[in-house]
Amino acid sequence: MTAEELNRTFDDAVDRINAHTEPFPADFLLRLYAYYKKATNNYERPSSKKPIINAFKTNALFQIKDISPDQAKETYIELVNNYFLYRK
């Protein structure tokens, strides 16, 4: 997959998640959050008003600290595709 195709597929996966209206499982959302942040090179600290949520988000980011942004995009796409394939 070329870089352009990867970016387009990633953007499509993000759009699918944003368009979905039913709630997602919390663990799935944490994984999406971490891979999205890594894929977009967003290194801002978690900004929830609840410290426990920030701790979970920070932990999720820490767990994927050694992967590249392209690997994060690929994993994000896989997570989204698997969710809609098996959870619906």
Residue 10 CA to its chain's centroid (Å) = 10
Q: Residue 14: pLDDT above 60? A: yes
The whole-angstrom separation of Cα 85 and Cα 78 is: 10
Confidence of residue 88 (pLDDT cuts 50, 70, 90): low
19-54 pLDDT tens trace: 999 999 999 999 999 999 999 999 888 888 899 999
Check residues 4 and 49 and name the one with the higher pLDDT: 4
Half-sphere exposure of residue 24: CA atoms within 13 angstroms, side-chain side: 18
Domain ranges (residues) in the chain: 3-19+26-86
**In the CATH scheme, what is the code of domain 3-19+26-86?**
1.20.80.10
Q: Residue 80: pLDDT above 70? A: yes
The whole-angstrom separation of Cα 15 and Cα 12 is: 5
